[in-house]
Structure 1
């Protein structure tokens, strides 16, 4: 049995909404940590926090389905190249980015599905993604040319950060929405602030992996929550963390808008 193109497209739209919910939670945890000393959470930690909520199992199941649909969309974009972007090196990099995004959302979908089936294992707002980053880095460092592989990961994440920054600067992502010219200007502003916040977080994570490669120590690697914690530790860190959290939350809101207005068409190869 194969999933239809139309159903996959609907799941991809649900995926934007699921991503929006996750980023809203990440942003909330960051602002709460800045203002009230709460716990910082990454994407997986934010998903885990849903397990203890009323109807948490149902919400997690919906989030898992949506993130799976989003992952399928990204991976089919990379494999089938429906936008015909594989014309030059820039297009090749974009397709690689689609693969990375697809795999990342598959992991998040698996996390949500596992918690829906076993809600007692919820993270309670902790950040298992940071531990996973260090575990994978340790494994990479144990293989031949491991330091170069970790350095390659750092370069890839830095490239992603630059792409996010470019979107924030140019605001051309708004063209991916239906009737983009008729949408209020604040929609683009929210997206730009959201992409800017992601660029900051990705750049810090890239720095973690660069240091891990340079020192050949997996403990130097880290993920989103570690990046947010680093911001908090800087002079004026309370406000840096709060501002970044607000930006990530706005990215979540923009993701909800994408769920409604994004041009999405999934074509399953076969």
Structure 2
């Protein structure tokens, strides 16, 4: 008896269930939640650029700002649930493959695993913030702490340097992919009018380029921390964004980057609506 032939329909049913309405809903909720965070971070960064630097321009600052809004606690729980949905979707991609002809390649599955772990951590931090009233650590504090621990292990400078290079390369890759509009492969382009597609491209190219620049800058700071063996050289999202205001372009570069993050938030909403899952 050919047991593999009997098992194949069962695997097919499991794969279809994993890609069914529940996982699709989780993916779209996760993309929308990501959009909210980037939108809020972009707005906070714009406030920093125009002289109001009282709040952190990072995820923690965004959560704090959201908590002060009407129904803030409900919104925080919804945001955490959405990000948990994003983690579930990435887990499904790791196990069963993602959309597209090359979605089941080992490289794609490995990237899905990394994304799943990342969003598990993000969802946990948001849900922890929603559950308690205590202040969470800023991205800058977390970055310096992790860098100090890494520098304290054997070959720590090489480890921090390698991670920094990886983040910087990822930033360049994100920016290039945005400029090339590679996200078109993941969109239901037939459902978009010509005008809507142009608007999505504005958010996708502008937002992805800004996001890539932030990643590249954060990676460069990590490399500098490794070379100097000084954890205080590493920067989280807030300090990375503020560093753009210290360039010869003044606060206007930060304005452009912050506006780009707002655009990426809007682009995430577009993905939540029209992405193939």
Q: TM-score, normalised by structure 2?
A: 0.84
Per-residue CA deviations over 1:125-171 (Å, capped at 9, x if unaligned) read: xx711211111111111112211211121122012112211122201
Residues 213 and 141 (structure 1), Cα distance of their counterparts in 2 relative to 1, 3 Å cut:
same
**Counterpart in the other structure of 1:117:** 131
**Counterpart in the other structure of 1:214:** 227
**Counterpart in the other structure of 1:100:** 114
Asked if residue 44 in structure 1 is aligned to residue 60 in structure 2, the reply is yes
Structure 1 residue 15 displacement after superposition = 0.6
> Which one of 157, 181, 188 corresponds to residue 167 of structure 2?
157
| Alignment partners' CA distance in 2, 1:75 and 1:131 | 29
Where relative contact order (Cα < 8 A, 6+ residues apart) is larger, the structure is 1
The SS at the match of 1:210 is: helix
Which stretch of the first structure deviates more once superposed, 155-164 or 21-30? 155-164
- Size of the aligned set, in residue pairs, is 253
Unaligned runs of 5+ in 2: 1-16
Per-residue CA deviations over 1:188-220 (Å, capped at 9, x if unaligned) read: 121100000011101110011101111122111
Does structure 1 conserve the Cα–Cα contact (< 8 Å) formed by 2:34 and 2:265?
Answer: yes
Structure 1 residue 58 displacement after superposition = 0.6
> Which one of 24, 30, 45 corresponds to residue 9 of structure 1?
24
Unaligned runs of 5+ in 1: 265-270
| Alignment partners' CA distance in 1, 2:97 and 2:158 | 29
Asked if residue 60 in structure 1 is aligned to residue 73 in structure 2, the reply is no
Residues 206 and 105 (structure 1), Cα distance of their counterparts in 2 relative to 1, 3 Å cut:
same
